[in-house]
Amino acid sequence: MYQLCQKHAIPHRNTGKWIVAQDAAQREALEDIHRLAARIGAPTHFLTHAEAHRREPDVRAEAGVLESPSTGILDSHSLMQYLQGDFENQGGLCAFRSPVTSITPVEAGKGGWAISTTTAPDGGREPTTTTTTTTITAETLVNAAGLSAVSLSNQILPHDRQHTAFYAKGTYFSYPRSHPRPSTLIYPAPVPGHPGLGIHLTLDLAGRIRFGPDVQWTDNPTDYTPNAHGPALAAARAAIHAYLPAVDAAAIQPDYAGIRPKLARHAAAATTTRGATATAFHDFYIAREHGFAGFVNLLAIESPGLTACLAIAEEVEALLYGRVCRDR
């Protein structure tokens, strides 16, 4: 991803990332992450207390700091613009505002996939009495529909292989103050069974801070109203204060919300305990579905899926065409 951004002038920055622990149990969680990272070849290392204090004096990390030096941020809109342009330059066609209304496998996919979409004449999102229906047949089908991926998958798979979608709304919080202002992404140590990664400190390319997201389960994947009620805001402020004690809590305010597609209401992150990988992790489901030719399903791909998109694409290519992906 760094190479792509450099080559095509996509704004980005290698910020690094800290995961911080405040007690012995959290330190063990960091050790688990470090062991897992070593197994998959992701560079991480622990910082001494003196080094951590020198670099980020406002960050509290009583029991340790695990650093991921390769973590960074990018301009997501610019990346998506590039991907669209590259796709179209190679002959691809994008049909925006054309909701998929049905997907029918022809001979279990061996004869292709009949995909029907609807398009309103005015470009609107909702079908009308003058909506146009178009059906195309594709040799392969990659379901990467985000919040709608599970419902589309359930149109195809038999009942005993269908999934239930869970929607985790997460509110981000603004922070307009100039202090404290770390230059590194700061994450709290993960809590076992918690559905999120904790309310972390993230940065934009202008250096502005925001915190989030929290977790509020919703049955409505179109509800983007920030979670601004008193208890949620108080909980967010307390969580942030735990690793950034000099923060001005009154300046932390709800900003906007996003929704994460999930396959379960727990276990946001795969960690290790005494060398064994946790089995409760359900998300980032990427599979070539047995019994359906040319069909790859991508379910519960949360926001890291954007910066992992090139690696995910290689995985999908390998599943469809049997090509061996290069080491990652």
- In 3-state terms, what secondary structure has residue 7? helix
The secondary structure of residue 240, as a DSSP letter, is H
Q: 98 phi and psi, to 5 degrees?
A: -130, 75
Say whether 291 sits in a helix, a strand or coil: coil
Question: What is the spatial distance between Cα 328 and Cα 317, in angstroms, rounded to a whole number?
Answer: 15
* Domain map (residue ranges) of the chain: 95-139
Question: Given pLDDT bands bounded at 50, 70 and 90, which one contains residue 327?
Answer: very low
Amino acid 328: pLDDT:
33
Handedness of CA 59, 18, 281, 80 (dihedral sign): positive
pLDDT in tens, 37-74: 999 999 999 999 999 999 999 999 999 999 999 999 99
Confidence at residue 219, expressed as pLDDT on a 0 to 100 scale: 94
Q: How confident is the model at residue 12 (pLDDT cuts 50, 70, 90)?
A: very high
**pLDDT score, position 76:** 96
Output the pLDDT for position 121.
Answer: 67
Q: Where are the beta strands (DSSP E) in the chain?
A: 12-13, 17-21, 45-47, 64-68, 73-74, 100-105, 113-119, 132-138, 141-143, 166-174, 185-188, 200-203, 209-212, 216-218, 253-262, 272-273, 276-277, 285-288, 295-299
Residue 324 confidence (pLDDT) above 60: no
Taking 50 as the threshold, does the pLDDT of residue 106 lie above it? yes
Query: Which tokens is 201 given?
Result: 């400190």
Q: What's the pLDDT tens digit per position in 188-224?
A: 999 876 667 789 999 999 989 999 999 999 999 999 9
Q: Which two tokens stand for residue 295?
A: 């069909």
- Specify the pLDDT at position 193: 67
**Mean of the per-residue pLDDT values of the chain:** 90
Judged by DSSP in three states, 248 sits in coil
Per-residue pLDDT at 191: 81
Q: Are 268 and 195 in contact (CB under 8 A)?
A: yes
Distance of alpha carbon 21 from the chain centroid:
23
State how far the alpha carbon of 127 is from the alpha carbons of 101, 115, 290, in Å: 10, 17, 33
User: Would the pLDDT of 116 be above 70?
Assistant: yes
CA distances for 285 relative to 103, 159, 292, 302, angstroms: 20, 18, 16, 10
For the segment 256-307, what is each residue's pLDDT rounded down to a tens digit?
999 999 998 865 555 444 444 444 568 899 999 999 999 999 999 988 899 9
User: How confident is the model over 145-183, as pLDDT tens digits?
Assistant: 999 999 999 999 999 999 999 999 999 999 999 999 999
Looking at per-residue pLDDT, the higher value among 195 and 99 belongs to 99
Residue corresponding to tokens 């589309």: 152
